[in-house]
Structure 1
Amino acid sequence: MTIEAEHLVQWEAGQLPSLERWPRLSQVYVWLRPSQERDLFHMLTLPFLGLSASTRQRIRGFQVHQEALDVSDGSFEAAMPHLALLLPNLEELDLSCTVVFLSTSPASRRQLCDGIKALSRLQTLKLPNCSDLLPLLGELAGSSLRHLEVSIEVDDEPWLQQQLLQLLRQLTQLQSLSIRFTSGDEAADIGAGSLPVLLDGLPPALVHLRELQALWDRRAGCYADGLEAELGLLRHLMGLGEQLVIRMLQARYVNRQ
């Protein structure tokens, strides 16, 4: 569903249909088109206001696509604790399509972290491209999170930070990781020896690593979406040499063309 600023007024007037009309609804996808930042808080929670407890408890997945705004007043972060109350059984939260400039306020970041932590049944979390969200991973230590998708800008930092590995290790139940390191610097290079460092630092329960080829796009001269790597196979091949793994991923990319 698409939610625009004028829908807030229409909802107050009782002119919008309720999600109660779809008794089997379990997944909700919203496209937000706010006219100003402060609309975000109300627009994120609008579809779930006034619903019966049984309808809200039935919703397992929520994906948000939001158009970019120039500034942030913390409205996006402030909505997270309310979403946790409205959708107590949420298992998948997809924020990867949000283009939001998060507030630098410690209180706003606390609201974001507390809201996501309150989703006790959350198993899949997809975060937007924002390195500032890395501390959130530490907040989820010991949670039931099974699948994580994260994209990190590395223009100003080394491509692989020790902090990231430390945070990932705390997600002891994590089974699937989709991670992409992005850079606006065409000459950027991750450096040799990075793969074994990454493999040694992953959570013990992890069995799938998605989009791993993004780690080699500068050296291998290629980039592809959606490839999966079995960690057992990668660790075995690492015994034969890192360059062999890179050539294997490059060959898989070529075969897809």
Structure 2
Amino acid sequence: MDDIQTMSKESLLDTLSVLDKAERIYETALAKKNAINRQWQQQTNDAADSQYRKRVLEITGIFTLPSIGSLLGAENLFVLLVGFIFVWWINWLVYKLIDRIFKIKPWYHNRYLQKHNTASPSVINQLRTLQGDIAYNQNGLQKLAATVNYPDRYLYNYDPARLFDIVSVGRADSFKEALNVLETDKYHDQMKKTSDLTYQSARQAEMEARAAKGWAMAATFYAANANRR
């Protein structure tokens, strides 16, 4: 195949479309792997939270059991049940306070994740298959790029598609020109992102300053009214 640096516009468009197709196949396999990993991690986190809630109910229930003896003299079953629930609720509040002070929930959560850090066999098989697909597709993408002297730096992040768009709409007639346009676009994208973040930070700071001023005015107003009373 020809060197991409010297290709005609039509050949360049054809080559970029093939590279884009190869990259999308690679990105699709990578996205599937990441999705499975996220799903497994979410399921593990949900299981840890569920187990923790179960343990809290068990612990507070155990601490509530001794109170049954003092409640047996209740007039009827309803009073006994209400009394038991009330004592259990008090124990639950005490436990939540202890939990907040000693951070028991994060400790239990991390301990659970350490014990269950291996996915199920079916998930492991899926990840292994996808990892093989990722390696195969990436190798094919890199070999395809090497045959036309396409730089690896622009193989990912959908750069082939962006270069195709640049050439197809007439913003560039050669690969070198297209790269220059792409770099300019990326620079502008980064500058816009930085500008947006700066604007958001400045706007948030202004809102907080106005809120503080408003709170101070409100406090002064209420203090003045209190003094009048």
- For normalisation by structure 1, the TM-score amounts to 0.19
- The answer to which structure, 1 or 2, has the higher relative contact order (CA under 8 A, 6+ apart) is 2
Give the number of the structure whose alpha-carbon radius of gyration is greater. 2
Q: Which has the higher strand share?
A: 1
Q: TM-score when scaled to structure 2? A: 0.21
